[in-house]
Chain A
Amino acid sequence: MKPHLLILSGFLLLPATAQELLPPPTGTSPLAVATSEAADIYRSVVRIEVATQVSDYQTPWNSGRFGGGTGSGFLIGPNRFLTNAHVVSNARRILINERGSSVKHPAKVVHVAHDCDLAILEVEDPAPFTGLKYLEFGDVPPLESQVRVIGYPVGGDRISVTRGVVSRIDFRPYSHSQVDSHLVVQIDAAINPGNSGGPVLQEGKVVGVAFQGLRQADNTGYMIPTPVIRRFLKDVEDGEYDHYVDLGAAEFPLFNPAMRKALQLPDNGLGVMVASVTPTGPCDGVLQAGDVLLSIDGKPIDNAGNIDVEGEKVVLHEIVERKFQGDTVNLEFQRGGEQKQATITLTSFPAARIFALSYGERPRYVFFCGLTFQPLDLNLYATHQFSNPRVRKTYQNYVKDSIFKEREDVVILTRVESDSLTSHLGEFAGTVVEEINGQKISTLDQVHELLYADDQPEFITIKCEGSPRPIVIPAAEAKDANKRIMQSNGIYLPFYLDKPSSDSR
């Protein structure tokens, strides 16, 4: 707390000394103006209280964990509050508090973008918030410039303001979804739990949304800068969030002279190699592994895959970052010494979202005779900690090896409950289901259809990848056993198959 107090006293002293040099004020003092401006801004920053229910991927039939937390947000338009997606994820109830008021206003999520950790809320009754200032957005603050972080972090109930300096501008992972990276601005003001979603201001304008800190380092806070915020606001203008678009190509730096020679490139520090192209992605059929990308939308690409944007070196994906579903991008590339050009229509790539955490969804599963089947995604992967290398490899290579083309779901046999029917099946837990009754499994729905079909062969057989023998369940006993095991384990629903909404990731 001490450093904060010091900053506070310094702030008060400065105008006081200035006052002595100036003639006595006649009307409102400059200090009072600054304070009233600050007060306006403070009033537009709200405290968000959220009650959550976090889905349980370990026992998917259970309700999950009830809990809650608080965050910050701010008014950006008529009944539009901006905050972080992670503040309102898994929310069952959202309440918004205005500064200095104990009235809690029920609110709901209008738009949520988990891939860039932003959300827009509205309150049921906007009347109490009319007349409040809508905060405006500024640009990316320059390095070393000072910013203010406003919000409701832990350590007290009232609004908190901290100051910091912009210490780095970089393309970094956003931890909320675990898989996305975008532009971030690092500041040396601490960002603490509860700060999330609050505005970061410079010269009265919002230059970012505070969203994450760094556990192993002091005084490093991260904010989402305005290019990312503006993109989100533009994306939802049509009433729907379309997600980020992706080029669908991974690049490999071309520092090595032999590599450059093999690819017939001059030693000019330009060009990056296409290492892989996402099957069915925007570049599929246009680019191929081994091509050399030379420019994107006319901007030359260096050998590390960077381009110049407004005087800053940024990764070439930054061009794609600011585009939308259906936008195009121009690529210049070289293949076998020949220069080529292509216009790529950008799309989002839903299959890749299995690598992103999903929020606010009930986990899908099929339970049958003591066996639990669940589709593989990051939520499942993070919960179960699979040790089987085949499961881990299938997960990691799901997109790269085109597994998604054949299998919409990679179905995992995650659990084996105790029963006389399953007493020899324990070792099958944590394997990929390959076939049921001789049919290749590509969706969880199919598992349900096959296992819950009225017409069954004498023995239901389930083949799991890498398992030396099939699982065998006698159809004649299945129905009773299923009922019995569900009862003894308190499973009231044998399956849940509703597909998650596209907004959940």
Chain B
Amino acid sequence: MNLRPLFFLLLPLLLLGSGSLAAAPDADEAGLIRINATIQTYSPAQPWERNNPSRRRGLGAVLHDLRILTTAEMVADTTYLELESADGTRNTPAKVVAVDYEANLALVSPLDPAQCAWIKDIKPLQTNGPVNIDEQIDIWQLEDNGNALRTVGTVRSVDLLSSFVEGHFFLSYEVKASMQGSSSSYTLPATRNGKLAGILTSYDSKDQICDVLAPEIIALFLQDVADGNYTGFPSLGVATVLTEDPYFRSFLGLNDEQGGLYVSRILPGSGADESGLQEKDVILAIDGNPLDRRGYYLDQRYGRLFWTNLITGKKKVGDSITLDIVRDGATKSLTAALQRRVEPLIPSHIHDQPPAYLIKGGMVFQDLSQQYLQAFGKDWQTRAPLNLLDALRNPEDYEEGRNRLVFLSRVVATPATIGYDQIASLIVTEVNGHPIKDMNSLAEAFQHPVDGLHTIKIDDIPYVLYLDATLSDTVDQQLLQSGLPALQRLPE
């Protein structure tokens, strides 16, 4: 804290040194607002309770109609969200209007529009069109005193990046800018000519490179929200492999002029599936844009971009694309209607949704998500239970007859689970003779004990476990009395 006065002394000196004494930009003019979030995730090991709360301060870009754009990361798993004026004198509770965890975008608005006249004083930002490489954008921060802080950066390159949820890539600018550490450094709006041109999702202070989500993605997100019913970004539903390997190319019968992406898997029920695309096809072009052997197409504005931008950066759910393909040496053209991403057996992320669980006699059942496995720490890919990792990596082997992968995550020692203490992380196949396809079917199956016993079949030794139905009900009641809020939380 002793350093603080020094800091203030230095700042005017620097300004004098640079020879100009400009007034700080006005935060209200810049369309900036603070967002304070209290985040509380659920405990993976004890899914009935929340972890300790943490707080996060960030910024939002005020749009018209009292809507504020921010990142999904800023609002995910929040138990309390509030908007605060730049100078810190006013605040009002807020709610999430729409959120897209994959694209890392969210729209927030005040809970009670009547109570926030102060927000109306903030000048709403217009949205800007795309920015070209080498053009400059302004990235905004707020200082503690309420002054807006503008950093000018140059768009160096454009790429598809994943910023919040792993594995979902969206058009982003990589901007060279020297930012300063600040208390509200999450989610910084970026503008060009005073119009919103992106949202900063991450900053690497070592390389001084910011990742800024591109205006095209923001525009698609806002269009989707406009009807009041948010759908999400479209997906083709294929897994592809590059065709760089020249020997693989000649095996596929591809000539040197052609590029192409090899289709290795088609998700059942996806747009690709319904278009008639098959595994082992090679996609040569999408909507007339030839794909090179590493999956890039030539974007008129940005140059080489990964093919998925032809879908997530240009289309919405319900739009169609044309696919030029090679199958068995012959070229062919297919039309695929784009859909929302097919929900996988094992979801990668669950946000703002408490994890489903069910407790029976001390046995804790959950449905598997990647998030659960990641809770095993930095080395989760080797430390998490092997059978669950295998299911994550090879879901196609587990999909039959299942909507979700239900597993016995742990056994709490109770009179009903004597002898089962060492059992954990086993995939549940059947309960009381009913195949288990999700948590709801598990809850239903437990309604039907046979001869006073529950029979639980699992995928590994000892393959079957029994619970006394009456005793486990008694135990469950005791668990409730000892502080468990509920015996189950099922997905709607």
Q: Which candidate, B100-108, B269-277, B456-464, is the interface stretch facing chain A?
A: B456-464
What is the predominant secondary structure among interface residues of chain B facing chain A?
mixed
Is the CB–CB distance between B387 and A393 below 8 Å? Answer: yes
Contacting pair A262 B239 (CB below 8 A): no
Give the Cβ gap from B278 to chain A, nearest Cβ, in Å.
14
Given contacts A255-B418, A390-B393, whether A261 and B245 have CB atoms under 8 Å apart is no
List the A side residues contacting B250 at CB < 8 Å.
Answer: 459, 472, 474
Task: Find chain A residues with CB under 8 A from B454 CB.
Answer: 258
- The residues of B that contact A161 with a CB separation of less than 8 Å are none
A466 close to B393 (CB less than 8 A): yes
Closest to B392 in A: A389
Cα(A459)–Cα(B251), bound, Å: 7
Residues of A within 8 A of B123 (CB): none
- Given A392-B386, A393-B390, do A258 and B248 touch, yes or no (CB 8 Å)? no
Q: Is the CB of A461 within 8 A of B463?
A: no
Instruction: Provide the bound-state CA to CA distance between A389 and B465, in Å.
Output: 26
What separation, in Å, do the CA atoms of A283 and B274 have in the docked complex? 50
Residue A185 CB within 8 A of the other chain: no
Task: Mark interface residues in B442-470 (1 if CB within 8 Å of A CB, else 0).
Answer: 00000000001111000001111111100
Does residue B241 face the partner (Cβ distance < 8 Å to A)?
yes
Structural contact, B463 and A276, CB atoms closer than 8 A: yes
Residue of A nearest to B464 (CB): A290
Closest A residue to B248 using CB positions? A472
Nearest CB on A from B379, distance (A) = 10
Contact A425:B453 (CB < 8 A) given known A255-B418, A276-B463, A468-B265 = no
> Is the interface on chain A under 10, 10 to 19, 20 to 34, or 35 or more residues?
35 or more
Residue total for B at the interface (Cβ-Cβ under 8 A): 38
Residue B381 interfacial (CB < 8 Å): yes
Docked complex Cα distance between A262 and B468 (Å): 9
A31 contacts B by Cβ under 8 Å: no
The reply to whether B265 and A258 contact each other, CB–CB distance below 8 Å, is no
In the complex, the answer to whether A258 meets B462 with C-beta atoms within 8 Å is no
Residues in chain B near residue A290, CB distance under 8 A: 463-464
Bound form: Cα–Cα A7–B409 in Å:
53
A393/B386 in contact, CB under 8 A: yes
Q: Are B389 and A253 in contact (CB under 8 A)?
A: no
- Rounded to whole angstroms, the CA-CA distance of A457 and B393 in the bound complex is 32
Q: A259-B466, A459-B251 are in contact. Are A390 and B471 (CB under 8 A)?
A: no
Question: Which A residue's beta carbon lies closest to that of B381?
Answer: A387
CB-based contact B386/A252 at 8 Å: no
Residue on A with the closest CB to B240?
Answer: A468
Contact of B245 among A253, A255, A259, A472 (CB under 8 A): A472
Please give the distance in Å from B420's CB to the nearest CB on chain A: 6
Cα–Cα distance between A271 and B61 once the two chains are bound (Å): 69
Proximity bits, B248-267, A CB within 8 Å = 1, else 0: 10110000000000101100
Contact partner of B394 (CB less than 8 A), chosen from A254, A276, A390, A474, is A390
A-B contact count (CB 8 A): 94
Q: Which of A256, A387, A392 is in CB contact (< 8 Å) with B466?
A: A256
Chain B residues whose C-beta falls within 8 Å of the C-beta of A337 in the assembled complex: none
- Within the complex, which residue of B251, B262, B392, B453 is in contact with A258, where a contact is CB–CB below 8 Å? B453
- In the bound complex, residues from chain A placing their C-beta under 8 Å from that of B462 are 252, 273, 275, 289
List CB contacts (< 8 Å) of B379-424 with chain A.
Answer: 381-382, 386-387, 389-390, 392-394, 416-420
A257 to B467, CA, bound (A): 8
- Of residues 221 through 261 on chain B, the ones whose CB sits less than 8 Å from some CB of chain A are 239, 241, 244-245, 247-248, 250-251
Interface of A is mostly: mixed
Determine the chain A residues whose CB is within 8 A of the CB of B264 once the complex forms: 468-469
Min CB–CB distance B423 → chain A (angstroms): 10
Q: Is A402 an interface residue (CB 8 A)?
A: no
Hey, which chain B residues are within 8 Å of A387, CB to CB?
A: 381-382
Find out whether the CB atom of B241 lies under 8 angstroms from the CB atom of A468.
yes
A286 at the interface (CB under 8 A from B): no
Known: A257-B418, A389-B386, A425-B245. A275 touches B471 (CB 8 A): no
Of A258, A273, A421, A424, which is within 8 A of B467 by CB?
A258
| Contact status of A252 and B461, CB under 8 A, knowing A257-B468, A469-B241 | yes
Q: Assuming the A-B contacts A424-B245, A468-B241, are A254 and B419 also in contact, with contact meaning beta carbons closer than 8 angstroms in the complex?
A: yes
Interface pair B453/A262, CB less than 8 Å apart: yes
24 cross-chain CB contacts under 8 A: A254-B419, A256-B420, A258-B453, A258-B454, A259-B466, A262-B453, A276-B461, A289-B463, A289-B464, A388-B393, A389-B390, A390-B390, A390-B394, A392-B390, A400-B461, A424-B244, A459-B247, A459-B250, A466-B394, A469-B262, A469-B264, A470-B248, A472-B247, A474-B247
The 7 closest A-B pairs by CB, nearest first: A255-B419, A468-B264, A424-B245, A252-B462, A258-B468, A256-B419, A472-B251
A residues contacting B by CB (< 8 A) are 250, 252-259, 261-262, 273, 275-276, 289-290, 387-390, 392-393, 396, 400, 421, 423-425, 459, 461, 466, 468-470, 472-474
Given A259-B419, A289-B462, A425-B245, 16 new contacts (CB under 8 A): A250-B461, A255-B418, A256-B419, A256-B420, A258-B468, A261-B452, A262-B455, A389-B386, A392-B386, A423-B245, A466-B394, A468-B241, A469-B248, A469-B262, A472-B247, A472-B250
